[in-house]
Amino acid sequence: MAKESFDKEIQILRMLALTSGAFTRTQFAERLGISVHTFDKTIRRLKEVLGSMHQHLTQEQSREWSEAIRYSYYESADPLLLFLFRAKSVKASESYRLSLLLSAMDGQALTVMELLDICCSPPSDETATIEEMPMPDEKTIRSDVKYLESVGVIRKESAARPYRYRVNDDLLQALSPEELLDLYDYIDVMANTQLPSVQGYLLRDGLKKHLLRGQAQTHELEPFLYKYHYHSRVLDEAHLFTLLHAIEGRLRVRFLYFSPKSERSYASRNTNPLFERETEGKQQRTLPLKLVYDHQYGRWYLLGHGREGLRKYRLEGVTQIELEDAVDAAGYEDKQAELAEKLRYSWLIDTGKPVTVRARFYHTGLARNFVKERVLLQGQWGQIVEEDDEAFIYEIVVNGTTEIRPWLRSFGSSCEVLEPLQLRREMISEWKEIQSTYESI
């Protein structure tokens, strides 16, 4: 909601989360295409933000930074990477005034003039802090109120002038403590198992703090675990709402794209030509059509239409995104429909030629139910076409065999590819390679 762009912070966090301390500062900076100085500055800023969000972490700040955001399944139920989104939702420089306004509107409806009075005569224990803060004028308060109303945190009491505003906490007021716990659980489960997640995590975080201010103990609020989460995926949701907005409004977008295969993933936007450097990022202009989330790797894609036709981008490579002009509705819907048709048989996002893949799965012994269950669960639109006591045959039409191949291979010797012959040969060759790798160990 703040205008600030957190591209650089997100790139750094993602790399930290994925590589967990593999690189030195210099190596990091090199890979991000920024100077060591900028890297240090960004890390300092992240630490500040993190320190103000998670008080319990401040005493641990001496720990290595990568250690602090390291994924630890049994110790942390809070998605740590989320703090960046929290930082984003309220402008830091105004947080003092906004918090004063919000606590004033908590439980009572007030006019802008009444709020101005409160801001100019804060409670006595706050005077020490207020001395550093300039006295706000009516215009400032009006714009604050407008901002808080636009993000939905407060609402107008009635249509009568002068407008009176109050904190919009109907959600809390409507429910008993017992019901709030059910709500908290539901938010937790849905944020962890459904898409998108970030809004749910923020809501969970707010409600958790509210419950902790009441009777609840931390252990009471962390009864659930979720196994095998791609926790860095929340970072890739950073551009999600911008892109959804673009799709909804049929707007073209422009961004600097770093293909994930390039070594660098961020370019500093220097204005001084002396510092201008070659970057591997490419300026892209595209018309977003669909977003794809790939559960196999936990990754987001943007599918758009550009000058060369259909283009696919990984969201983690998208930075400095800007909205442009709108296109007309009729042509846009055609393009969307055409894309949907092309993706029908994509295991992930391959829009190549459809082929029929047939594989025999063996389900004898202990693995009996396990293999079949997994195929039924993960096999997308594929069907089991034949079955006996020893094995069953699974058949699916997919665009190309590249994307389904790792999945088939993950079954090990429980899966034998029958068709197409080319894929069968590739599997044999790859198993041979794996075998020779382990023979030498």
Partner 1 sequence: MTRLEESGTFTVTSHERAWLKTMLAHPAAAEAFAADTLAKLREVLAPEAELDVARHLIEKARSRERQVYHPHLRPLRRLIAERQGVRLTYAVKDDREYTDHPGLPYKLEYSMVKREWYLLWYRLRQPSLMSTRLQKIRAFAAEPLDSHTAERAQQRIAEAIAARRTEAVIEIVPLYNAELSRILYAFSSFEKSVDYDSGGDLYRVRVSLLGDEIEYLLSKLRFLGRRVRVVQGDYLIHRMRESSAKALARYAEAEPEIEAAAPEERTS
Single out the residue of 90, 112, 115, 267 in contact with partner 1 (rule: CB under 8 A). Answer: 90
Minimum CB distance to partner 1, residue 304 (Å): 12
Interface characters, 376-405, with partner 1 (x: CB under 8 A): xxx-x---------------------xx-x
Give me the residues paired with residue 142 across strands.
none
The residue among 81, 82, 99 whose CA lies nearest residue 91 is 99
DSSP string over 145-167:
HHHHHHTTSEEES-SSSSP-EEE
Single out the residue of 56, 160, 161, 228 in contact with partner 1 (rule: CB under 8 A). Answer: 228
Interface of this chain with partner 1, residues 124 to 183, rule: CB under 8 A: 151-153, 167-172, 174-175, 179, 182-183
Give the ranges where 61-176 is alpha helix by DSSP (H).
Answer: 65-68, 83-89, 95-105, 112-120, 127-130, 138-150, 170-174
Contact 183, 190 (CB under 8 A): no
User: In this complex, which beta carbon is closest to partner 1, that of residue 248 or of residue 278?
Assistant: 248
Q: Is 2 in the site for partner 1 (CB under 8 A)?
A: no
Contact 321, 268 (CB under 8 A): no
Minimum CB distance to partner 1, residue 269 (Å): 23
HSE-up of residue 287 (Cα within 13 Å, Cβ side):
21
Minimum CB distance to partner 1, residue 276 (Å): 27
Interface of this chain with partner 1, residues 268 to 307, rule: CB under 8 A: 290-299
Interface of this chain with partner 1, residues 30 to 59, rule: CB under 8 A: 52-53, 55
Minimum CB distance to partner 1, residue 391 (Å): 10
User: In this complex, which beta carbon is closest to partner 1, that of residue 43 or of residue 367?
Assistant: 367
Interface of this chain with partner 1, residues 99 to 118, rule: CB under 8 A: 99-100, 102-103, 106
Contact 258, 317 (CB under 8 A): yes
Phi, psi of 224 (to 5 degrees): -110, 145
The residue among 159, 180, 17, 154 whose CA lies nearest residue 99 is 154
CA distances (Å), origin 127, targets 119, 121, 138, 215:
11, 9, 20, 31
Residue with tokens 């044999």: 428
Q: Is 74 in the site for partner 1 (CB under 8 A)?
A: yes
Single out the residue of 3, 56, 261, 353 in contact with partner 1 (rule: CB under 8 A). Answer: 261
Minimum CB distance to partner 1, residue 425 (Å): 4
Q: Is 433 in the site for partner 1 (CB under 8 A)?
A: yes
Minimum CB distance to partner 1, residue 64 (Å): 11
Using the CB atoms, write b or e for 47-85: b if 16+ within 10 Å. eebbeeebeebeeeeeeeebebbbeeeeeebebbbbbbb
Minimum CB distance to partner 1, residue 62 (Å): 19
Minimum CB distance to partner 1, residue 238 (Å): 14
Interface characters, 339-378, with partner 1 (x: CB under 8 A): ----x--xxxxx-----------x----------x--xxx
Q: How far apart are CA 436 and CA 441, in angstroms?
A: 9
User: CB under 8 Å to 37, separation ≥6 — which residues?
Assistant: none
Single out the residue of 45, 70, 285, 342 in contact with partner 1 (rule: CB under 8 A). Answer: 70
